[in-house]
Amino acid sequence: MKRALVAAWLCTMLVTQAVAEEQPKQGGMLTIRLNSDIRSLEPGVNRDTNTDNVLNHIFEGLVAYRADMSVGPALADSWTVSGDGKTYRFVLRDGATFHNGAPLTSAEVKWSWSRLQANPAWQCRNVFDGSQGVKVIDVEAPEPRIVVYHLEKPSGMFLKQLANIQCAVLVAHPDSADAQGQWRAPIGTGPFKLAEWKHDQSIDLDRVADYRPSTAPASGYAGARIAHVDRVRFRIIPDDSAARAALRTDAVDVITEVQPERIAELQAGGVNVQTASGLARDALLINDKDPLLANPKMREAIATAIDREQIAEIRSQGLAKANSSAVSASMAYFDPAFLAWPAYDPSRAAALLKEAGYHGQPIKLQTNKRYPGMDANSILLQAMLSAVGLNVQIETLDWATQLDRYMKGEFQLQSFTYSGRFDPALTYATFLADRTRFKWAQWDDPKALDLLREAMETADDARRKQLFLDLHGLLRAQIPTIGLFYEPAVDATTKHVHGYRVWAPDRPIAWGVWKD
């Protein structure tokens, strides 16, 4: 009995010690590497990924993406949708304040929205004006904590676009601009505020001492943004090898977008590496308007000649699995049914080529050297397609030329990578569109377009998932393009960093993180 009590005491002590070791430590500075300087300090205009990464630590939106790409609360604690699906009523988080001490009210939310709408440089104006989806008719601020958005018609994409990191629908205080409307300083509600920007060197942010976080669990950009470090420094190091060296010597604490082949090297140097299913989608583009590739048997032969699992294994160092659907494994909509695809079968591929009447005509596969992943995929694809008798010739172009050919639909095959999208409908929209208007589209089947249109309009998640499954069934049958895999998100931190979490968009998050 005594032995059992001693064992129980030891167990309790070990658990208590482990919990204590995981308690966040306050203070210090976290240094995150950026590969280039930011473009501006104003949300939504003159932006790029690095700019978005920094500004999302200073500002918050009404809603934000969780780690599973669903939409969760940020400045809005909750929201309701009218019965006709055209009115969204948001309740603002209690106690939220701007960095100048002013309380957050619906008036600042409306001001920020109106400023974005009036700015021709805002890249997402067409997302909300009805020309490419949602049409916002009006935004009201009837009470200090209530914001109301009125839409022209129901939309399954409104909340997702409102949370879209690239659209940057973030809330700023009007004092961020001068009397003439010119932007002068970023005054947001986030857990960090701007301290100093040294162009081409670093951007320093200080913790906001009186910040009151959301009560929702932290997940991705949504929920509680609890800052532990006193300062975040985004340090600009353009060269990847220099960034890895800085990490190994503790000159930086976090680097993102690590190439999978560098993982072993970093781990051998005592660095922690985290991975997650990503959103960037590698694909083989097929121009089915080409006289040779218009034959469905040719496209099926290409599909069955490609060992997608081997490509994913080699290119991701085993971190990713083959996935030809528009639904990444990181998304809440994901289901194993999305992995269905014509099986790798070289014998069947050769037989299909014979049935198609193929006699060795050359097929050009366009690629480029600027993006090594696209080039590596093209080499693997050429080897597999050649093995079944296809005369595939790699055509290496400069990136600008390849992109121009892509936009004009002037190719037979292309090795291509799509940047990450946060919803399957947005992923489909990168290759499914009306070709009479968009020459870059890979697919314009009328039924598929109708399914995508409904997925854009309905907000019912169960219905949307079924629509995506139906779309995948059509994609699998027609093979207008071949998805290969989703590139994994890979981040690395020093062993002094705790609480850091990599997520699908592979964007660094400094809140919830501390250093020993």
The domains of the chain are located at: 29-275+490-515, 281-486
Does the reported pTM lie above 0.75?
yes
Report whether pLDDT(332) > 70: yes
Instruction: Say if residue 132's pLDDT is above 90.
Output: no
- What is the mean pLDDT of the segment spanning 58-70? 97
Where residue 251 falls among pLDDT bands split at 50, 70, 90?
very high
Give the per-residue pLDDT at 133: 78
Cα 28 from Cα 32, distance rounded (Å): 13
**Tens of pLDDT along 66-75?**
999 999 999 9
Coil vs helix vs strand at 165: coil
Q: Check residue 6 and give its pLDDT.
A: 40
Residue 10: pLDDT band (50, 70, 90) is: very low
Provide the CB-side half-sphere exposure for 337 (13 A, CA): 11
CA dihedral 282, 288, 289, 293 (to 10 degrees): 120
The position carrying tokens 């014979």 is 354
Residue 310 clears pLDDT 90, i.e. is over it: yes
pLDDT of residue 410: 96
Q: How confident is the model at residue 131 (pLDDT cuts 50, 70, 90)?
A: confident
Architecture of 281-486 per CATH? Roll (3.10)
Residue scoring higher pLDDT (9 or 100): 100
- Whole-angstrom distance, CA of residue 124 vs CA of residue 154: 19
Does residue 125 have a pLDDT over 50?
yes
Where does the pLDDT of residue 123 fall: very low under 50, low under 70, confident under 90, or very high at 90 and above?
confident
- Percent of residues, the chain, with pLDDT higher than 70: 96
CB 375 within 8 A of CB 366: no
CATH code for the structural domain at 29-275+490-515: 3.40.190.10
- Mean pLDDT value across residues 228-234: 98
